[in-house]
Structure 1
Amino acid sequence: MSELRFQWLFNQRKLNLRPILEGPREFTTIQASELRDPSEFTTQGAIILTLGLAFENSPSDFSAYARTLAAAGVGAIGFGTGLTFATVPQELIDAAARHHLTLFEVPRATPFISIINTVTTEQSRIENNLQFTLHRQQERLNQAASNGINALLERASKELGAAVAVANDSGNVINRHDLGELSAAEFALVAASQSSGRTSGARSSITKDGTTIATITNVFNTHGRRRIALAVSREQKFDSYDRALTRHLAGLAEMLLQNRDSSARIILGALALATQVSGTTPALGATALDAAFNSVASHGRLHLCLVQADSPTRLSRALGLVHRTANKGGYACFVLPLEGTASESALIALPPETINAQELFGRYAKNLQVSVLKDTPWEEISADRVTALKTHARSLPPGTMAEFSSDAPAWLGESAVHEALGKRRAAIVGKLKHHDATHNTELLRTLRTYLLADAQLAAAASELNVHRHTVRARIEKVQALCGIDLANPVIRAETLLLCLGS
């Protein structure tokens, strides 16, 4: 609870308290006790209210009583007169003076409970005001955070009346806001440089001119495993509300720096994969690419996932979950959508660890076809390999993650085959894509699923999560649009190859 000043207590005229001795200026709690030794049940800075019942026949024992209370950290005695003792005993006055205790008289007309209630009511009022102030300060920090880390630290410095700094384990001060000549940068650098230990702490230090500086530090790791420390320093001690506001500040700073680090890594990953897949890496770029891919996995050996979705929206949501899962797991991954913002497929590079589809893609896994190529040197990532992975992924039933097999029809991705099948693919796949885009239908997806299900309506309906009559109607629409007869097994085989190679 909040400390109160004795002067405030004595100014409560309705209590009619009479100060006798002045000791500490503030107190923390107030309680009544008639024990000879209440030290077991007291707290630092407490007031003990007593009638002296235990000393009625031995006033000389007040000397030991005062000594015991002082040793327990009690700050004051409120002595009730008019019952056991008509006045405050001189023995108690002398003992309280020797041990520097505040002493005041409580007249018989003033119940102890009224004093206790007055104190607790005031402390509750102060606590409520402090809680409200903390809430407003947190709101102002939230608003400042929307303008970036620099604005956040500037606002935090004003709210806490302190110097604030953020540094990383590379010895760089990311941002700082000094208070006059006082800087927290050195404290942040020291905290960030410690490879292990507490994630938060408080300390005090003395400057050359004898000034005592209080400092709070909070340490966290970014998704790139970089250690970052926030330090807040000022001359005054930090109370519980200051510490709570500092924890809130640390959370906001971590969020801002995590997002900045994560966004940079997403861009770096897409750029690295795109450069390698395109096969246009200049000689000077090989070193940079090696460093980039080694940030995902040591020695540059990766797991590659080619993810095929049934819509750009589902792919985008699945990739968002992949990034969040990687961030939560503390590892890096590179992601490259293969057809831009409207892509239905993407290439993902992951560390060479066990890949769990449910963990990576969550509820979106059931709508994805994923081809996995394990333990691959980054130098072997190429356009042809991506095409082969894509062809394999499209040959899988929805909801399947399978390791890439060399037996898959990779030849469908060869340029000569593309040219040979170009006109026929445009007549079927191209026409269905255009119809789906124009009329917001799913004819191409339905056709591919139906063919992979060996033309079984029930199996296709289950994969698509629609009624089999809906599948039948869509297939009839496909046949009418494309002028094909899917009852013919040869036509079905041809159409399946066109769908897989598209």
Structure 2
Amino acid sequence: METPTQDMDVRWLYTQSQLKLREILPTNKTFDVIQISELVDPTDFISPNSVVLSVGIAFAETPDGLRDWAHRLADAGVIAIGFGSGLTFPQVPQALIDASLHLGLGLFEVPREIPFISITSSVRDEQTRRAGRLQQELLLEQERLNSIAISGGIEALCRAAADYLGGAVAIVDSDGRVACSITTDDLDALPQAVSRLNGSSQALTDATNFGFIHRMTRYGDRHHVLSVLMPTRPSEQHRALIRHCAGLADILLQRPEAMRDREIEVRSLAMSLLLGRSDDLATIHRVFADITDASGNIRPILITGNTPQSVRKALSSVATALYKQERALAHLRLAESTELLFLRGSRSVHNIVQLFGTAASGVRLCIGLPTRVENIDKKLIRELTATAKTLQLGTYAEPRDGTLLWLQNPELRKILKTRSRDTYDRLLDHDRTNNTELAPTLVSFTQHGGHIGDTAKELGIHRHTVRTRMIRIEEICEIDLNDPLTRAELLLVIATKEGDVEKH
């Protein structure tokens, strides 16, 4: 009869007061198995690193035979003996004490009233408790590696595994190309990986280190090998984590068929665009399948800000929120501080604004109506951009009735273009030549209805600086910014000027 354990210290047994064990000869060794045996020669049934419990029935008439019995146990790998007193012998025989001392075996006395099953049950309960704790730790570590693999890739995954194992980790493909190699102190797992590229998974040991080779999944005629080198013997938890790490590495290193198919679709669409085709709707629908809703609609959102940083911050906020929801994101840069974003058509305006979080305060949003992907064109984007440019920073609009579509009137745009050449274009030229920021100041000033304080707050400058810039703008453009009609005119000029989508 035996009870397997997980490297339990013999001293742990003595801490269990209910067992009333009395230590006779100490030992610092750990045991894997606790066994009960009353055989004269139990050698064939003894496991290495074990504790043997006995009352010595076989030696009732020949107590000196316990000396040879102890020698046989030591040769079989026993590290300690628990001897039951009060049944066959009133106390632990001196012959056993002398032999155990000579052999370096641990020895303890089990009182008559303590059945051996109490000891084995205590060990089994402790084993279960430790196994549960180790399993929980393993699950937590596996979850941590999952997160690291997603966010950091193969290098970060191997580094985290090496840290946990306290060793070195390397991954090499069947052609000898190194995917990653993480060394620890003087340990390097790369040589053993390179020398066993075509072998099977196996454990390796030498005088000082413990190695492990895991052959990963074959794809076609190619596979990878995960190599681990540790200064200590790997536990079952370590081995389980190594296998988990190999599985994650397989996913990262071998592109799944679904990803390969998606790459082919994207390339096909790119070829269609290159050749000037606009009728490849089947590929377009497949590419945007993760973004369209059940009706095939997409919500186009125009994001614009005063700085590229504010727009990037807004996009980052949306990307983070969508990642938590396991939803896809598609966006395109239209200008330095302008981005076009596609979201599912079924998302409400309120839900979309929530995706931006606090970053919404640094941008202007124009949220388009749910639209089929084939109906999203440059004209629609120009309309969204023109609307977005008229908004105050930190606000959003949803054009339902085409309120500003009259801005697309060709005759009106021609007039506004002429007016821009005489006003706003002058500022742009002046800023480029003199490295000033008059044009952005005018944009903010008109969008805030001529309010000096709000303009200064948005731009992060002093009110006096705004007033000084306004004076200079009036001089260059030959206008009066105190006139509300002039400000309204300039707001429309700016909206249509910056609202044009670049032609490529």
The normalised TM-score by structure 1 is 0.57
Alpha-carbon distance, 1:250 to partner: 5.0
Q: Show CA shifts across 1:194-248 (max 9, x none).
A: xxxxxxxxxxxxxxxxxxxxxxxxxxxxxxxxxxxxxxxxxxx984334334444
Match of 1:344 in 2: 337
Q: Show CA shifts across 1:276-322 (max 9, x none).
A: 9x996433x11111222223124321111011121334334433444
Q: Is the aligned partner of 1:408 residue 2:436?
A: no
Q: Determine if contact 1:269/1:334 at 8 Å carries over to the other structure.
A: no
RMSD of the alignment, in Å? Answer: 5.5
Match of 1:314 in 2: 310
Instruction: State the SS of the aligned residue for 1:486.
Output: coil
Alignment of 1:466-477 (within 5 A): 466-477=461-472
Match of 1:240 in 2: 237
Alpha-carbon distance, 1:408 to partner: 2.9
Alignment of 1:173-184 (within 5 A): 173=219, 176-177=222-223
Instruction: State the SS of the aligned residue for 2:168.
Output: helix
Match of 2:422 in 1: 427
Q: Among 382, 389, 406, which residue is 1:387 paired with?
A: 382
Q: Among 451, 458, 474, which residue is 1:463 paired with?
A: 458
Q: Is the aligned partner of 1:295 residue 2:294?
A: no
Q: Among 157, 165, 168, which residue is 1:137 paired with?
A: 168
Instruction: State the SS of the aligned residue for 1:294.
Output: coil
Greater CA drift, 471-480 or 349-358: 349-358
CA 1:329–1:463: 2 relative to 1, 3 Å: same
CA 1:296–1:449: 2 relative to 1, 3 Å: same
Instruction: Figure out how many residues of one structure are paired with residues of the other and give that number.
Output: 368
Paired amino acid for 1:107: L
- Unpaired runs of 5+ residues, structure 2, are 22-28, 55-61, 81-98, 108-160, 182-188, 195-210, 227-233, 498-504
Alpha-carbon distance, 1:478 to partner: 1.6
Alpha-carbon distance, 1:274 to partner: 13
Match of 1:45 in 2: 32
Match of 1:165 in 2: 217
Match of 2:7 in 1: 28
- Unpaired runs of 5+ residues, structure 1, are 1-22, 49-60, 80-86, 114-129, 167-172, 185-236
- Looking at structure 1, the residues matched to 167 and 220 of structure 2 have their Cα atoms a distance apart, in angstroms, of 27
Instruction: State the SS of the aligned residue for 1:474.
Output: helix
- Looking at structure 2, the residues matched to 262 and 400 of structure 1 have their Cα atoms a distance apart, in angstroms, of 38
- Looking at structure 1, the residues matched to 289 and 463 of structure 2 have their Cα atoms a distance apart, in angstroms, of 48
CA 1:269–1:494: 2 relative to 1, 3 Å: farther
Q: Is the aligned partner of 1:487 residue 2:466?
A: no
Q: Among 373, 386, 399, which residue is 1:378 paired with?
A: 373
- Looking at structure 2, the residues matched to 443 and 103 of structure 1 have their Cα atoms a distance apart, in angstroms, of 86
Instruction: State the SS of the aligned residue for 1:151.
Output: strand
- Looking at structure 2, the residues matched to 360 and 270 of structure 1 have their Cα atoms a distance apart, in angstroms, of 30
Q: Is the aligned partner of 1:107 residue 2:108?
A: no
CA 1:464–1:176: 2 relative to 1, 3 Å: same
Match of 2:347 in 1: 353
Instruction: State the SS of the aligned residue for 2:216.
Output: strand
CA 1:262–1:358: 2 relative to 1, 3 Å: farther
The normalised TM-score by structure 2 is 0.57
Q: Determine if contact 1:457/1:471 at 8 Å carries over to the other structure.
A: yes
- Looking at structure 2, the residues matched to 309 and 474 of structure 1 have their Cα atoms a distance apart, in angstroms, of 20
CA 1:306–1:492: 2 relative to 1, 3 Å: same
Q: Show CA shifts across 1:14-58 (max 9, x none).
A: xxxxxxxxx9xx99344145799699xx9961579xxxxxxxxxx
Alpha-carbon distance, 1:326 to partner: 3.1
Q: Determine if contact 1:319/1:361 at 8 Å carries over to the other structure.
A: yes
Instruction: State the SS of the aligned residue for 2:482.
Output: coil
- Looking at structure 1, the residues matched to 404 and 244 of structure 2 have their Cα atoms a distance apart, in angstroms, of 56
Percentage of pairs with the same residue? 20
Q: Determine if contact 1:308/1:315 at 8 Å carries over to the other structure.
A: yes
- Looking at structure 2, the residues matched to 374 and 248 of structure 1 have their Cα atoms a distance apart, in angstroms, of 45
Greater CA drift, 481-490 or 422-431: 422-431
Match of 2:494 in 1: 499
Alpha-carbon distance, 1:385 to partner: 0.9
Match of 1:75 in 2: 50
- Looking at structure 2, the residues matched to 382 and 93 of structure 1 have their Cα atoms a distance apart, in angstroms, of 94
Paired amino acid for 1:346: E
Paired amino acid for 1:319: L
- Looking at structure 1, the residues matched to 298 and 408 of structure 2 have their Cα atoms a distance apart, in angstroms, of 23
